[in-house]
Amino acid sequence: MPELDLLTAPAVDIAKALEAGTVSSEALVQQYLNRIHKYNGYLHAVIATTPTDIILPMARSLDNERAQGRIRGPLHGIPIILKDNIATDPKLGMDTTSGTYALVGSKVGEAAPLAKQLQDAGVLILGKGNLSSAGGSSSGPCVAVAAGLAPMSVGTDTNGSILLPATRGDVFAMKPTLGLISQRGIVPICLEFDSAGPIARCAQDIAALMDVMVDHSFDDKKPPVGYSSKLTGSLDGIRIGVLNPKNWSLPSIVATPVPSIQKQQHDEISAAYGKLRATGATVKEVEIASLDGLEVDGTGLIGQVMNSGFKPDFEAYLKGLDSSQVRTLGQVMQFMKSHADLEFPPESPNMGRLEMAESFVISSEAREEAIRKMRDFGRNQAIDKCLQDNEIDVILGPADSEIDDYYSAAGYPMACLPLSYCDYNMRPFGICALASEY
């Protein structure tokens, strides 16, 4: 077996090397820690790592289990990075900060169920991935996988928080159907949108992670023999609807339009659609309801629901901590103001999202109606309608677009598929896949 290149090696190849005995989990952990030490000072992808006097004996123990023929599953002894809004076992010696110094030293009572499930499956929690404060983008976990600091990671997605950094990091990722993965023990932005999701180098690793990550109360929603059993290697019989890439892009406030990038993305995404036809899939161009349907009286439904949900959901998490110097959103904001040199990056010295959430006022009745309208649009008027009207199984479109609003509004799954690199600046780009629930 050739030597592993940790920059590009997927977990599925690492598992083969572990099985063959050409590498041990203990050695693997040390090699990844060496890479983090070498590159993280520039990348800032990892906030903390499990101390070596904790993680190396854990890896050694899993090696011993393997030697005795006790294999917990396909991810036995493989390291992972968890986004630092996911509570880990205090015995691992890492805080859960959600990207703010206000939560340094806070104590969780126990690990998030998601973290427990991963450890029970033999996964080694190597460290915690960086993120926008507080909550926000899963950029750290995506960069960690892209840079070979870990073969896989777990992020969280509210409204594009996995999709956008994943497509720009050239990695595979998924946001499952809302509720499929337990959100308990995860610092929230808004529970009407939030879900943890796997990030990896290949689809096989995404499936293997999903087999472990799904909350046990939803086991009946999993494929009978697991997600990995669905990796047939064939698209025969799959009916795919594709969105015209010329009609899909990010707003200029998010990404300044560059004509040469837009043309290349249009051409290469269209070419990818053509290749899918050659594999045996049925491919047809489709349209989906305009996002204008998420605007009511000039107000965005997603913004209403998110801004009104952030404060109560966030404060419920804070109040559930065993110990913390902050218990309210207002206290977190005051800490940030008092420690601006630590909290605010020079390019974005503000906390606009927090200020909006702190001051947002809406009645419970109006909020429930906004949620109802948002879900109705995302499901009945957009995704499900497009699938049913066109008799298709899945919808594909450019990841660099506002496609995230559809799956966020619906609470439906999303998958990010890497495709190519922009000639203009070598930035990766890819395709987003949408489907109905589960």
Q: Enumerate the active-site residues.
A: 83, 137, 161
The dihedral sign for the CA sequence 168, 232, 197, 434: positive
Question: Is the dihedral angle over the CA atoms 299, 300, 303, 307 positive or is it negative?
Answer: positive
262 vs 176: CA distance, rounded Å: 29
Q: Please give, one letter per residue, the 3-state secondary structure of the chain.
A: CCCCCCCCCCHHHHHHHHHHCCCCHHHHHHHHHHHHHHHHHHHCCEEEECCHHHHHHHHHHHHHHHHCCCCCCCCCCCEEEEECCECCCHHHCCCCCCCCHHHCCCECCCCCHHHHHHHHCCCEEEEEECCCCCCCCCHHHHHHHHCCCCCEEEEEECCCCCHHHHHCCCCEEEECCCCCCCCCCECCCCCCCCEEEEEECCHHHHHHHHHHHCCHHHHHHCCCCCHHHHCCCCCCCCEEEECCHHHCCCCCCCCCCCHHHHHHHHHHHHHHHHHHHHCCCEEEECCCCCHHHHEECCEEHHHHHHHHHHHHHHHHHHHCCCECCCCCHHHHHHHHHHCHHHHCCCCCCCCHHHHHHHHCCCCHHHHHHHHHHHHHHHHHHHHHHHHHHHCCCEEEEECCCCCHHHHHHHCCCEEEEEEEECCCCCCEEEEEEECCCC
List all residues 6 or more positions away from 226 whose beta carbon is below 8 Å from its beta carbon.
207, 211
Q: Which residue has the tokens 């110097």?
A: 325
Report how far residue 282's alpha carbon sits from residue 18's, in angstroms, rounded to the nearest whole number: 39
CA angle 177, 251, 140 (to 5 degrees): 55
In this structure, the number of other CB atoms found within 10 A of the CB of residue 233 comes to: 5
